[in-house]
Amino acid sequence: MVFCLGESLLDIIISSPDDVVVRPGGAMLNAAISIGRCNMKVALISELGDDDSANMILTYLQNNNIDTSFIVCYNNNKTSLALAFLDENKKPKYSFTKNYPEQRTITENIHLTNSDILLFGSVYSLDSQIRKNIRALLDKAKSANTTIIYDPNIRHSHHLEDSKLNEAVYENIGISDIIKGSDEDFTNIFGTSDINEQIKNIRLINTNAFIIITMGSEGVLADYSGNIIRLPAVKTDVLSTIGAGDAFNAGLINGISTLNKLDGQYHSKILQKGLEFSALVCASLDNNIDIKH
């Protein structure tokens, strides 16, 4: 089973006032949908309100083979929204409306095994209101030898102005088996755009993890025990980059599950699957791979 832990919201994607698309969104939700469309067992651990947006999201998840039993729905509460304004390069600029009650929680009563995968990340994983719950679930996954994949997804350096948020990022990096982020993410975390320095900084926190750095049109670079792999991006006509990194995560997980191992000889194949999924999403206005895949 794949467990995706993260925020769920409704994305309103705006190219122009006459070109608006509405999609269920959230980094881990996006990945879960793509994973579900590969006919893999996947569950989303998240929070929603009890409004029409929540009903739309739940229906969408269930129609895409996602186990929703680990989603907390708050009574008399609205679901969070994200406005995504696409620029000329099809990159989004976000404006969020977060709608959470004062008392929050995430489901921790989850049975995890060494054959499961837990994907988590984004600023959601640093949220002080639920950080204790998230850390408890990560510790449970570590004890069960569950494969833990962390995608920091830190879009802006100001997201880490609080020292406690920095501490949470470092904890997330330290506990994970696979650390996958964009070059932009790690620039914001470590204050350097030098990828070699980024890898060195990650290694100071986690000596054994499989490190994956996506570089947009430049492809991907990965490091495993000092062995460096570089692969070019899959060429595509880009309509939107929303969900590209999330699709990469889904492809990565699909590759790991298909090959049934995370072995050095398979790393290139696993990374290639991530690149292929990412290209599929960039070629559409959906946040996930097409249903036929």
Averaged pLDDT, 267-291: 88
- This prediction's pTM: 0.91
pLDDT digits (tens, 9 = 90+) for 232-276: 999 988 888 878 999 999 999 999 988 765 665 678 999 999 999
Query: In sequence order, what are the residues at sequence separation of 6 or more whose Cβ sits closer than 8 angstroms to the Cβ of residue 213?
Result: 180, 181, 182, 183, 186, 195, 198, 199, 220, 221, 222
- For all residues of the chain together, what is the average pLDDT? 91
Q: How far apart are CA 191 and CA 194, in angstroms?
A: 9
42 within 8 A of 66, measured Cβ to Cβ: yes
> What share of the chain has pLDDT > 70, as a percent?
96
Averaged pLDDT, 110-131: 96
What residue ranges define each of the domains in the chain, with the CATH number in brackets? 2-98+113-282 (3.40.1190.20)
Question: In terms of pLDDT, which residue wins out, 245 or 92?
Answer: 245
Q: What's the pLDDT at 264?
A: 58
Q: What's the pLDDT at 219?
A: 95
Local confidence band at 89 (pLDDT 50, 70, 90 cut-offs): confident
pLDDT digits (tens, 9 = 90+) for 139-158: 999 999 999 999 999 977 66
Q: How far apart are CA 2 and CA 30, in angstroms?
A: 13
Question: What tokens appear for 236 in the block?
Answer: 């595509």
- DSSP structure class, residue 163: H
